[in-house]
Structure 1
């Protein structure tokens, strides 16, 4: 074999190897393919690669500490580890919340999804026969929202339209010294926007809890109507509790006094229906259902939000019901950074009775031992993303 033949053979082999490597080598991806901005549904959305679906990932991380008797969600008591004496304690809680939104335009309308999952670690009061200690532990993962919406039709896990459509009870941390309605439920809803300020919702709901979940083929039903204008809004909702044939309704007025000052007032009224037919059931005996969970037939909530400047806002809420349960909550929210806010809140609760049942409100003994007043505070740090 000549030197020329060896050279030609070596060159051919190198070319073959190069061709083979060229076939198996994948070009480096263009980074812009993975961060294509989608501005159709607002900021933060990007296109999922290879699709027309827009995705946004967000959430928040919060830590709060509460002291005193500051309501259902923040109250904590414990026993002294040495003496067993009952005493108050701090309540601490850390929450991580992950949110995901998707959106896509289709021939049937906009297709959206939304999910929100919350995970907590903190202490809560336990009441069992051998212990009254306040333990700190990981809480359950909570599926707060998980729904699909096509056009005006929404199905899945949501908060009841009895609350979502009319709105919550102000921007305070302790919103429910007097509770204002149902929350968790599976829904089949339809939203209608007339485009002239009027909008409406009809919602078929499963309910939740021991006596709140439907027990036959008849769903819980909510209907709502809203009118929105530059000065504010007027909203009304009504809910039918199919378990107890009870009806509850709320009317709300929002007023934009100035760009900085917002006011709201909300009034609720509910019938007893057959809520008291089973005196062995604690919720029934208290005359409360899935929608009318305040004390007695009527309740009110009112509040204000004032924006002092770009970083500081003040929030106030007053609430009360027929059974003389009252609450006052006021806070200052300060944004240290655009997505990092510290909120300090002071709460006052006054508890009257817990049940009217079939007894007239005028016949209830308001001087019973259940009546008490309490004061507490909450400090919360929250980083949203």
Structure 2
């Protein structure tokens, strides 16, 4: 009985204390501890790899990355080649470049598949272009198998393992190239996939010339139709690809023609030699679609077609490029690349070929930092006229974060 009375007195005293606190003046009531509001902290998202965080209050994961690059180039091109070089007092003998990169990646798993947005923006200042240039390299949405926006062409597979920054190697994709597109990729499992896409024609135009050498490029009417079949395995990647490309004059004096390109590429991983080692090769044939096989061809007639006697004649070309990288240690690597391009132009005496050779040595003292030097050489051999040589040596310092 006494125990019950003691408990009752305790409960009454507690109730009185609470009532007293509720009746305190505002100045004193503020000292009474209050429950803290819940905080929605940013959480780590490990569903898509390192660096991703959850957008607070959602199931969307995002990652922001960056890169800063400094290039220092010295040119030894001859006068016939043109461009920077020491052959003339009016030509630049060197070019310095500073470039910043900003990457944004967001991903959400949905019942229809992955929903992803990705963007990549470049900010560049060069010696011979002192104003800051802003270039949107990528800006696309992926939803399931759908890709819409701006990005790498579905035709391109391999870009080489050298810096490939001045003389773009033939046969391979251009690492500085991007296009507006919309495409759908069907995944058949076991690493097999196929893609069908519409890509902006203007980004692959080399132009049209009349017999007098005047540009005669017409407006676009039909986008490029690009298709590929791709196989991804632990050993590497293989791909077959094809594209159509409309060639249209501006004057209407000649009918438009439908050009095309077909190609194949292969990348083989070589971890049995050293971690990160690989080799790759890509090549193709084009008729009226020169930039699919020669992304930066140099010669007397770098066009998709020529108007002769009122008829539009297409330029044909074939090219092949190969490259590879070897890690001597975890910190040191070397890469070599070579390519050959042969162009058969409609105008007599304007056929030509290109040979490109590149090699580099790269040091990675800490994670995310590269310090490398590279030599790039392009040899232009026209059917008529003098041969040309382009040469550049460069130093690169790059930090990824």
TM-score range, shorter chain: 0.7 to 0.9
Match of 1:102 among 98, 103, 106: 106
The answer to whether the 8 Å contact 2:199/2:225 transfers is yes
Equivalent-residue separation in structure 1 for 2:262 and 2:392 (angstroms): 31
TM-score by length of 2: 0.72
Q: Output aligned runs, 1:363-382, within 5 Å.
A: 364-365=383-384, 368-369=385-386, 371-382=387-398
Shift of 1:105: 1.1
Match of 1:246 among 259, 262, 280: 259
The answer to whether the 8 Å contact 1:190/1:202 transfers is yes
Structure 1's 308 and 97: CA in aligned 2 closer, same or farther, altered over 3 A? same
Structure 1's 332 and 13: CA in aligned 2 closer, same or farther, altered over 3 A? same
Equivalent-residue separation in structure 2 for 1:286 and 1:237 (angstroms): 23
Equivalent-residue separation in structure 2 for 1:139 and 1:381 (angstroms): 19
Partner in structure 1 of residue 84 of structure 2: 76
Shift of 1:306: 0.8
Q: Which moves more between the two structures, 229-238 or 339-348?
A: 229-238
The answer to whether the aligner puts 1:143 opposite 2:156 as a matched pair is no
CA RMSD, aligned part only?
3.5
Structure 1's 78 and 306: CA in aligned 2 closer, same or farther, altered over 3 A? closer
Partner in structure 2 of residue 45 of structure 1: 52
- Aligned-partner SS, 2:159: coil
Unmatched 5+ stretches in structure 2? 1-20, 207-216, 248-256, 292-297, 306-314, 343-351
The answer to whether the aligner puts 1:303 opposite 2:323 as a matched pair is yes
- Aligned-partner SS, 1:208: helix
The answer to whether the aligner puts 1:186 opposite 2:180 as a matched pair is yes
Match of 1:346 among 345, 350, 375: 375
Shift of 1:283: 11
The answer to whether the 8 Å contact 2:67/2:398 transfers is yes
TM-score by length of 1: 0.75
- Aligned-partner SS, 2:126: strand
Q: Which has the larger radius of gyration?
A: 2
The answer to whether the 8 Å contact 1:173/1:345 transfers is no
The answer to whether the 8 Å contact 1:113/1:149 transfers is yes
The answer to whether the 8 Å contact 1:254/1:265 transfers is yes
The answer to whether the 8 Å contact 1:70/1:377 transfers is no
Equivalent-residue separation in structure 1 for 2:290 and 2:68 (angstroms): 42
Shift of 1:199: 1.8
Match of 1:324 among 317, 339, 353: 353
